[in-house]
Amino acid sequence: MIRKILFISCFMIFKNMVTGQTYNTTAIIFNFNFNQSPFQLKKEYITDAGESIQVYKMKFYISGLTGVTVRGDTLALSKEHFLIDVADSSSQLIKVQAPQLQYLFFTIGVDSLKNTSGIQNGVLDPSRGMFWTWNSGYIMAKLEGVSSQANTAGNRFTHDVGGFRSPFNSTRKIRLLIPQNKINNTSVYIEVNLAKWFSGKYPILLKEQPICHTPSLLAMQLADNFVTSFTTSEN
Partner 1 sequence: MPNKKIHILFLLLVICTAWITTDRFAFKPKPVKFEIPKGWPQPVYDFTKNPLTQEGILLGKTIFYDPQISKDGTISCGSCHQQFGAFNTYDHTLSHGLENMLTTRNAPALFNLAWQKEFMWDGGINHLDLQFLAPLTAHNEMGETIDQVITKMKASPQYKKMFKAAFGDEIISTERIGKALSQFLLTLVSSNSKYDKVKRGEANFNLPESLGYEIFKQKCINCHTEPLFTDFSYRDIGIPEDTYLKDKGRMKITGLSTDSLKFRVPSLRNVAISFPYGHDGRFYSLMNVFEHYRRNMVVTKNTDPVLQNKLPLSNYEIGQLKAFLGTLTDSVFLQDNRFAPPGINDGKPPIDNHQ
The residue within the footprint of partner 1, chosen from 21, 36, 121, 184 (CB under 8 A), is: 121
Question: CB 214 → partner 1: shortest distance, Å?
Answer: 7
Q: Which is nearer to partner 1, 10 or 46 (CB)?
A: 10
* Of the residues 72, 118, 154, 234, which one makes contact with partner 1 according to CB under 8 A: 118
Asked if 138 interacts with partner 1 (CB under 8 A), we say: no
Task: Give the interface size with partner 1 as a residue count (CB under 8 A).
Answer: 27
DSSP tag of 213: -
Choosing from 115, 193, 221, 225, the residue that interacts with partner 1 (CB under 8 A) is 115
Cα dihedral across residues 46, 50, 55, 57: positive or negative? negative
**Separation in Å, CA 154 to CA 49, 161, 165:** 21, 21, 32
Distance in Å, CB of 194 to partner 1, minimum? 26
E strand segments, 70-171: 74-76, 82-85, 93-98, 101-108, 131-132, 137-146, 156-162
Given the complex with partner 1, which of 35 and 120 has the nearer CB atom? 120
| Cα 55 from Cα 23, distance rounded (Å) | 39
Q: Is 31 helix (H, G, I), strand (E, B) or coil?
A: strand
- Write out the residues near partner 1 by the rule CB under 8 A: 5-6, 8-10, 12-13, 115-121, 125-127, 131, 133-137, 168, 214-216
